[in-house]
Amino acid sequence: MPVPGTRLQTPSFSRRSAVSRRRFLQGSAAVVASLAATNCRQNLAGPPAGGGANDGTLRIYTWANYTDDGLAQAFTERTGIPVVIDIYDSNEVMLTRLQAGGGDAYSIIYPSDYMVSEMLELDLLTELDQSLLTGLENLRAQWSNPAYDPNNAHSIPFCWGTTGLLYNREASPGEPIDWNFLWDNQAKLSRRITMLDDMRETLGATLKSMGYSYNSNNPAEIEAAYNRLLELRPHIAAFKTTGFENELLSGDLSVSMAYSSDAIALTLEDDRMQYIIPASGASLWTDTLAIPATAPNVDAAYQWINFLLEPEVASAAVERLFFATANQAAFDLLPADIQNNADLYPSDEILAKSEGIVAVDTASTDLFDQFWTEVTSA
């Protein structure tokens, strides 16, 4: 069980945003430090390079900094397969692009747990031939048969984490203990709060603050959460998934809703930064590796998944990117200070109060969409 208060010692950059890379190769030099870096990342909003033709290149659509240049180069040197990476900042952006034809260009995507379920409903994912995969036995027990994708038939868990509150101790009116802190201190925090630009996360946290589930299918509960978030809306500086870090460091912001890996990276940059998992519970996210149904280079996709299932590769990625691994063999290779970090690997008590975001029914999805549009455009 993690030891509360233990902190990682090696700064890195984050899960979904570009935090400092000052020492990002420490702890993983044996795997990637000797490799020449190539600038393979592409513009967030640009069109997929090279269209959908299978020219032998592996095109990946992923969260920012999930696949750094060193990792891509290591794969290319191992297999001879060139890698091109495009990035997205939300599951919904990724889904929209794939529905618009992006599935013909990309052979690997990184959908979160609930998005896997939604994409299965839309027949957008390839059923995996697990005889072609190596290292599945290394997955931790809780990810061997996840509810969002039974038996990992269409996706392989890559990493997991929590969503909580990151605050500047010198700029906050107090220590956040739970989500209610934002509402209880809204006047003091006015225009000094950011919430994630993520419909299910932010409305879900609001539901949780009222004692409801992130995954409520109850129209009255969803509307109540909408009204509660609307109450806080005038005091929210912005809905941001990335780009809040400098303002939090300067004190222009006091509190930001953040993914654990982004938050941990910033706490290591500055001792004034503190991450908390709300006492009533948080969301538990899992990001996966999946192959689009119309992927042009399926063979390369399987090779990429197998590469990331290797314990040495997976553990090195954890040390650079600060997410929790679903790979037990990789976890066993990590230094004790990472294994025991309570922010990265929360206690069973905290996990029991938290919940994964899962797909809700169509009527509830429509309500979430409607209310989210109204809140963010207010």
Which ranges in the chain belong to alpha helices (H)?
Answer: 69-79, 91-99, 113-121, 180-184, 199-209, 219-232, 245-250, 260-269, 298-309, 311-321, 328-333, 336-339, 348-353, 362-376
pLDDT at 161 over 60: yes
Whether 29-160+285-345 shares its CATH topology with 161-283+350-376 is answered yes
Spatial separation of the C-alpha atoms in residues 274 and 276, rounded to whole Å: 7
β-partners of residue 162 are 284
According to CATH, the topology of domain 29-160+285-345 is D-Maltodextrin-Binding Protein; domain 2 (3.40.190)
The string of pLDDT tens digits covering residues 36-85 is 333 344 444 344 544 445 689 999 999 887 888 888 999 999 999 999 99
Cα–Cα distance between 105 and 163 in angstroms, integer?
31
| Nearest partner of 253 among 242, 267, 237, judged by Cα | 237
Q: Which of 320, 214, 196 is nearest to 258 (CA)?
A: 196
pLDDT one-digit tens code per residue, 89-125: 889 899 999 999 877 899 999 999 999 999 999 999 9
| Bridge partners, 313 (sequence order) | none
**CA 26, CA 23: separation in Å to the nearest integer?**
6
What class is the 161-283+350-376 domain?
A: alpha beta
The domain locations on the chain are: 29-160+285-345, 161-283+350-376
